[in-house]
Chains A and B, each alone.
Chain A
């Protein structure tokens, strides 16, 4: 059952360059003339050597960083500032500590003055979806790292964004929890079919989750190549043992290794 639902291009990054001012004068490019496209309902992963600018690129899409040149176009509109149409899940724990899980999930809808009943229903739905029923009234300090990230995913989804941006959301979790979270995300994605742009340095994670994987070059980051992941969906973690998976992993690994070595050389 191949669900290669090739939709229309939803997110387009065109000739994106981000340079930062060095403290002692001069500039350094984090991302250089980067092009990529994400289609509707697609799950796209970006992998690359550490420090290659993948997070910077994602922050530009979120509107948190301004590009030096080039542009980001979401559904035909140019992105100029952050907005509720692009939800983002960070690697660090960003739940608001003074709000309960429910309060956190309702944060976005509350800003848009969604009526109480509707807001509560949406919160319930997404809290259930990420498996946090029973923890609605818990404060973040009472949750484990994995639970906090699940709540953060629910909080982003409750805003019903057009695209979900994920910046190594499981990077701070231990290996077992990370595996569970990947499975949960596959499940959530299968049910919501949100467009996702997912940044990670974990090659296996990118193959397990993505429809396509973009490999970035070493800094300054640009797209080195694009790998289609035609593993059948719905996927489960068992897929990592398949031959196709292992082949893909070897291929991407080699490609990234070339880039990492460039930095060392």
Chain B
């Protein structure tokens, strides 16, 4: 009994308006069709085009002397600055300081927000208890709390961890609660009709059903955590990438500012890839893996 779509037939007529073509070969016409998949090489081509264009305009602007070095240092200047910072060891120190803070604050938030969010999305009682507070605090920008946090705990690592924690926690609780509230009722009901009791349904059905959504939100909030961290480091700090950027500005070392920005961007990219890899590896069954 075959119900799956038959394999692409040997003869592929040219696709007409609105048709999908199942082959790798394609022209520009195919690439401009909404939601249409394109080949891997075409995709990588798009990526490298963008990267090359940026590098090219950067080079023209700087080496061509169109923009003063104070505003935009040349690529080689940035590389030289990065090498110098690495030699001094300060880039490593600042990166480690930022990483320590972000991972601590984010992990603490995850540890509490994920279970709380799941309960909130599942049990109306927990929702009633928690939601008003969370919805209130959520709209307070964390940056507005920084002065208060400095007053309470100073400008050390603890204050930055607190900023990252607060910034991540309240958003994550709501995101996770949404994930668990959206678990299909029929999925839970079918577990009941298979003989599961309430506790089992919670641990063996609801919990695994939330994992892909939770994983997505971990990735998203990690991105936000960087913003909060850098804001905190810019306001008051003596180490971290945000501090490095601020300190470089004071000395008008624009090339060092760019090193800081690039490092933050690359770390963000790295975390994103790690989360995507974790999703594929830990949840191979997930439709989004």
Contacts and interface: CB of A to CB of B under 8 A. Distances in A.
Contacts of B285: 97-99, 139-141
Q: Is the interface of A mostly helix, strand, loop or mixed?
A: mixed
Contact of A159 (B3, B184, B194, B286): B194
Could you say which interface size class chain A belongs to?
A: 35 or more
B192 A108 contact: no
Given A141-B287, A180-B3, A90 B190 contact: yes
A97 B287 contact: yes
Interface in A132-148: 139-141, 144-147
Of B186, B193, B208, the most chain A CB neighbours within 10 A belong to: B193
Interface in A99-158: 99, 107-108, 111-112, 131, 139-141, 144-147, 152, 155-156
Contact of A64 (B1, B193, B194, B286): B193
B218 to A, nearest CB: 17
Given A64-B189, A84-B195, A111 B3 contact: no
B38 interface: no
Contact of A94 (B184, B196, B208): B184
B3 A156 contact: no
Contact of B200 (A111, A141, A144): A111
A147 B3 contact: yes
B187 interface: yes
B72 interface: no
Nearest to B195: A84
Contact of B193 (A86, A96, A140, A147): A86
B175 interface: no
Contact of A88 (B193, B196, B284, B286): B193
B3 A144 contact: yes
A97 B209 contact: yes
Interface string B261-286: 00000000000000000000001111
Contacts of B184: 92, 94
Nearest to B285: A139
A87 interface: yes
A184 interface: yes
Given A63-B192, A64-B189, A111-B196, A98 B283 contact: yes
A51 B244 CA distance: 65
Contacts of B191: 96, 107
Contact of B194 (A59, A87, A98, A139): A87
B108 interface: no
Nearest to B194: A108
Contacts of B193: 62-64, 82-84, 86-88, 156, 165
A218 B155 CA distance: 69
Nearest to A107: B194
Contacts of A131: 1
B144 to A, nearest CB: 38
A177 interface: yes
Interface in A56-86: 59, 62-64, 82-84, 86
B4 A111 contact: no
Given A139-B284, A139-B285, A141-B287, A96 B187 contact: yes
Given A63-B192, A88-B193, A108-B195, A97 B3 contact: no
6 contacts: A63-B193, A96-B208, A97-B287, A107-B191, A159-B195, A180-B3
Interface of B: 1, 3-4, 184, 186-187, 189-196, 200, 205, 208-209, 211, 283-287
User: Nearest 10 CB-CB pairs, A to B?
Assistant: A84-B195, A82-B192, A88-B193, A94-B190, A108-B194, A146-B3, A139-B285, A98-B208, A144-B3, A92-B186
